[in-house]
Amino acid sequence: MLLTGAQIIMECLLEQNVDTVFGYPGGAVLNIYDALYEYQDRIWHIRTAHEQGAAHAADGYARSTGRVGVCIATSGPGATNLVTGIATAYMDSVPMVAITGNVNVDLLGLDSFQEVDITGITMPVTKHNFLVKHIEDLADTLRQAFQIAQSGRPGPVLVDIPKDVTGQKYEYQKQQPLPLAPPPSPSEECLQQAAQMLDKSKRPFLYLGGGVITSGAAEEARTFAKRLDAPVSESLMAQGAFDAHDPRYMGMLGMHGTKTSAEALHNCDLFVAVGTRFSDRVLCNAGLFARHCPILQIDIDAAEFSKNIEVDLRVEGDALEVLRSLLALLPQKEHPEWMQQVAVWQKQYPLTQTAASGAAPKDIIETLDRLTDSNAIISTEVGQHQMWTAQFYKFRQPRQFLSSGGLGTMGYGLGAALGAQAANPDRKVVNIAGDGGLHMNCVELATAAHYQLPVVELLINNSVLGMVRQWQKLFYGSRFSQTMLDTNTDFCKLAEAFGVKAYRIHNNEEIEPVLKQALAEKGPVLVDCWVDRDVNVLPMVPAGASVENPMLEM
């Protein structure tokens, strides 16, 4: 059938089973938004307050579902406002398709009004991007974009479409989504070597990364941990891949990981890393990481092998396929002395926290965890509250935790929460934020109110840029340069101005009754929790130190 380019975009989205998109209209996407009006009964468009919020919402939609998130923005500043969200998705391997408008084809390269080379700008932070200059290429390009975003190691793809292309007409024929490119498969020899290493180990350490969630291998990872009889640690991106209530779970490893994980790393005889890229926040000092034992790394992306640390055996492949193959080769192992020692460390080094005034972040998050039975979808901004969330909320399932790990994007969490809530209307979604992050994205409270998305904005309000201030306290002689947030913002009044109900917590006694009220609300709600500015994130590994020797106090 003969359709406009904009209608072809809609039909291609429907081909990919897209039911929700996030965006903001503008001149170069007028044709697209006119088509969205026509297709509004099949595609739900959520207009965010800012294009960056749309990118983060598409990201949250994708992380919480495993499906591709879609965002739309106009040319020029609309497109560039997406870039931080695209880079966030790229660093954390999130499948996303960003559709941008541009000026007419004959105006490209002339510094036209609201023109920018968005494909050039986003080249380093996308898996691939496209500029569609001919309408006959439009449908196939969009189909390819979705295929690339989901194949192998997922990531964002940008499709830039000039306005005149969206207005032209062309014959459209419906097609099924393209098959995903098959992941690499490890050789039988490689699998046998890995199985021998696993069978020989007496004190194995199993470390899970975000790739376990991406590949859908959480159940296999849990079975593998039991078969290997190993303790388990996770990266920030892997929260929920292993049930935090399981006694095998030791908490995170890395700069703000647990002392138990550090002791297990120091004493293990085999380090097994699945679906992780060994970021600097995990390794800390790469030259001092696991020097005493062999490292077995399983990853779908060959570029991650020996990029940040040398490993003894590389197994390239999808985590799900590799774990299934290894389970078929590995007999049931028993390491009672090793597991008993881990249990001793867990009792010896619990995560603790004291607060001189206000409400304690640990108590806030642990109460939230209990009231939601560890089953809420939790997003965060970036900073101290992000680490406290990973430490104290006991995630049970994959795709519960949404946070910017690689790029560390302040302002990410609220948009991500909106995307997750739109995708999961029957789930409780909570964004745990700092006051610095909320200052960056508070406009998205208007989006929550407009669409009555019942997100809980849980504000850990310590009136400082907490993580940066913590470093200033430790390494810069307590010279708190520009980290005191003395703005006097009344966040409850701000929320109410946007149409969001608000509560405040002043001390520990108020935590449970206020959180119960907030969680019972049918619409969006903000909870302003007053927290002592001198509460620090501990344990902590200082820059240049070994991850095996974290600081337990400051």
Asked if residue 344 and residue 198 are part of one domain, the reply reads yes
Cα–Cα distances (Å) from 414 to 221, 317, 361, in that order, read 30, 34, 19
Residue 58 lies in a domain: yes
Domain boundary among 348, 377, 405: 348
Instruction: Assess whether 375 and 523 both reside in one domain.
Output: yes
Report residue 36 as tokens: 């969205």
User: Which H or E run includes 171?
Assistant: strand 169-171
Q: Cα 27 to the chain's mean position, in Å?
A: 31
Residues 6+ apart with CB under 8 A from 78: 24, 26, 28, 29, 51, 100, 101, 114
449: number of Cβ within 10 Å: 18
Whether residue 554 is predicted with pLDDT greater than 90 in this model: the reply is no
Whether residue 179 lies inside any domain: the answer is no
**What pLDDT is stored for residue 351 in this prediction?**
96
Shared-domain flag, residues 427 and 461 = yes
Instruction: Find the length of the chain.
Output: 554
- The mean pLDDT value for 135-162 works out to 98
> Annotated catalytic, 289?
no
Q: Are residues 332 and 404 in the same domain?
A: no
Active site residue 467: yes
Half-sphere exposure of 336 (CA within 13 A, CB side): 0
- Residue 42 to residue 17: CA distance in whole angstroms: 10
Q: What tokens appear for 452 in the block?
A: 């009555």
| Predicted confidence (pLDDT) per residue in 448-480, tens digit | 999 999 999 999 999 999 999 999 999 999 999
Q: In terms of domains, do 152 and 104 share one?
A: yes
395 is catalytic: no
Average pLDDT on 319-339 reads 98
Q: Is 28 helix (H, G, I), strand (E, B) or coil?
A: helix
Give the distance from CA 468 to its chain's centroid. Answer: 21
For position 406, which CATH number holds? 3.40.50.970
Q: Are residues 150 and 13 in the same domain?
A: yes
Note if the pTM is more than 0.85: yes
Answer whether residue 549 is part of any domain.
no
Residue 28: predicted pLDDT = 98
How far apart CA 290 and CA 268 sit, in angstroms, is: 9
Q: Enter the tokens of residue 537.
A: 């994130």
- Is 548 among the domain residues? no
Q: Do the domain assignments include residue 354?
A: no
What is the domain extent for residue 505? 361-530
In a domain, 356, yes or no: no
Helix (H), strand (E) at residue 163: helix 163-167
- Alpha-carbon gap, residue 515 to 368, rounded angstroms: 7
**Average pLDDT of span 320-332:** 98
159 and 251 in a single domain? The answer is no
Among 7, 10, 51, 297, the one annotated catalytic: 51
Q: What is the CATH number of the domain that holds 314?
A: 3.40.50.1220
Average pLDDT over residues 422-437: 98
Handedness of CA 502, 508, 510, 511 (dihedral sign): positive
Q: Which one of 11, 91, 163, 252 is the catalytic residue?
A: 163
Q: Kindly indicate the confidence band of residue 1, based on its pLDDT and cuts at 50, 70 and 90.
A: very high
Q: Percent of the chain beyond pLDDT 90? A: 98
**Residues 335-393 pLDDT 10s:** 999 999 999 999 999 999 989 999 999 999 999 999 999 999 999 999 999 999 999 99
* Rounded CA separation 87/80 (Å): 11
Q: d(Cα 286, Cα 545) in Å, to the nearest integer?
A: 9
Q: Which of 237, 255, 440, 467 is an active site residue?
A: 467
**How would you class 18 by CB atoms within 10 Å of its CB: exposed for 0-12, middle for 13-18, buried for 19 or more?**
buried
pLDDT digits (tens, 9 = 90+) for 94-134: 999 999 999 999 999 999 999 999 999 999 999 999 999 99
Q: Could you give the C-alpha distances from 548 to 258, 335, 343, 352, in angstroms and in order?
A: 10, 22, 18, 19
CA distances from 96 to 9, 157, 323 (A): 15, 6, 26
117/203 same-domain check: no
pLDDT at 288: 94
Over 90: is that where the pLDDT of 82 sits? yes
Query: Per-residue confidence at 487, pLDDT binned at 50, 70, 90?
Result: confident
Q: What span, in angstroms and rounded, lies between the C-alpha atoms of 402 and 62?
A: 10
* 153, 19: one domain: yes
Average pLDDT, the chain: 97
* Residue 351: both structure tokens together: 């995560």
User: Looking at residue 543, what is its pLDDT?
Assistant: 85
3-state secondary structure of 33: helix
Domain count, the chain: 3
Do 135 and 231 belong together in one domain? no
Last residue of a domain, which of 171, 203, 220?
171
Asked whether the beta carbons of 306 and 313 are under 8 A apart, the reply is no
| Six token digits for residue 250 | 């030791």
Of the residues 40, 113, 171, 493, only one is catalytic, namely 113
User: Looking at residue 65, what is its pLDDT?
Assistant: 98
Q: For residues 297 and 305, what is the distance between their CA atoms, to the nearest angstrom?
A: 8
Give the per-residue pLDDT at 379.
Answer: 98
Residues 316 and 379 occupy one common structural domain: no
Q: Is residue 543 part of a domain?
A: no
Pair (515, 401) in one structural domain: yes
In this prediction, residue 486 carries a pLDDT of: 85
Residue 309 lies in a domain: yes
| Domain edge (last residue) among 142, 171, 200 | 171
Q: What is the pLDDT of residue 37?
A: 98
